[in-house]
């Protein structure tokens, strides 16, 4: 049975998906896979014990001072088709491929962790910004985008002329529209930017 089928079958038994212990489910599946692989390995080792070519090769290996146990040698025998040149080449290719996939998986995990960190940092920055805006609103102030950069101004100014904290001139018309006024008396409409500086 494929992994997704086991997972789906396990999922169907639960009414509330938030109560599923996915770690336990994964560990259970991994343990079953490992047990199945161990059983297959033991079966293969048992079969090799009756193989005269394997027995002769292992005796020769040990006589030459080889340090591997019978089980280790048998694993290598199975992985490399009897330590044949073609088998060794396939094994090296397989190892290289597996290492590449493992490295790619680690890089993917690091990228996901970086994205999570960035999302948390963005969330914290947005929270701090929202708290700042809320504080300004409690003082009847808001940030406005002006030609000289963001300015915090009271949003309840009556119509008429007003001056900013650095001597900037503003005009509020009778409809409540704010204008930044430059030294040449040009009027630039400005808007309250409740989401400033985030878009």
Task: Looking at the structure, tell me whether residues 113 and 79 fall in a common domain.
Answer: no
Q: Residue 30 falls within a domain, yes or no?
A: no
Tell me, yes or no, whether 103 lies in a domain.
yes
The pLDDT-based confidence of 1 (bands split at 50, 70, 90) is low
106 with 74, same domain: the answer is no
In the chain, beta strands by DSSP E: 141-146, 149-154, 160-163, 169-172, 178-181, 187-190
Show the domain range for 127. 98-138
Residues 46 and 71 in one domain: yes
Q: Is residue 189 pLDDT above 80, yes or no?
A: yes
Average pLDDT of the segment spanning 93-122: 93
Residue 7 lies in a domain: no
Q: Are 170 and 179 in contact (CB under 8 A)?
A: yes
Q: Which long-range contacts (CB under 8 A, 24 or more apart) does 149-155 make?
A: 150/193, 150/196, 150/197, 153/178, 155/192
pLDDT, averaged across the chain:
85
12 within a domain of the structure (yes/no):
no
55 and 78 together in one domain: yes
The answer to the question of residue 91 being in a domain is no
Q: Is residue 104 part of a domain?
A: yes
- The residue behind tokens 């109560």 is 19
Domains contained in the chain, number = 3
Averaged over 164-184, what is the pLDDT? 91
Residue-wise pLDDT for 38-57, tens only, equals 898 888 888 888 999 999 99
Contact 3, 30 (CB under 8 A): no
**Is pLDDT at 158 greater than 90 in this prediction?**
yes
Co-location of 156 and 170 in the same domain = yes
Residue 198 lies in a domain: no
For the cut 80, the answer to whether the pLDDT of residue 80 exceeds it is yes
pLDDT value for 15: 52
Do 153 and 171 lie in one domain? The reply is: yes
């Amino acid at each position: 049975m494929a992994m997704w089928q086991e997972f789906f079958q396990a999922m169907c038994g639960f009414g509330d998906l938030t109560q599923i212990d996915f770690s336990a489910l994964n560990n259970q599946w991994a343990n079953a896979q490992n047990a199945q692989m161990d059983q297959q390995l033991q079966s293969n080792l048992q079969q090799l014990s009756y193989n005269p070519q394997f027995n002769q090769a292992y005796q020769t290996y040990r006589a030459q001072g080889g340090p591997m146990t019978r089980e280790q040698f048998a694993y290598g025998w199975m992985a490399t088709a009897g330590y044949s040149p073609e088998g060794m080449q396939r094994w090296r290719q397989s190892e290289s491929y597996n290492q590449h996939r493992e490295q790619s998986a680690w890089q993917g995990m690091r990228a996901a962790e970086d994205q999570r960190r960035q999302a948390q940092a963005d969330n914290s920055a947005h929270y701090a910004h929202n708290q700042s805006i809320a504080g300004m609103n409690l003082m009847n102030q808001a940030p406005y985008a002006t030609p000289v950069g963001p300015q915090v101004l009271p949003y309840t100014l009556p119509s008429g002329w007003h001056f900013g904290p650095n001597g900037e001139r503003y005009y509020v018309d009778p409809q409540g529209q704010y204008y930044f006024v430059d030294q040449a008396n040009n009027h630039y409409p400005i808007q309250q930017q409740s989401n400033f500086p985030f878009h």
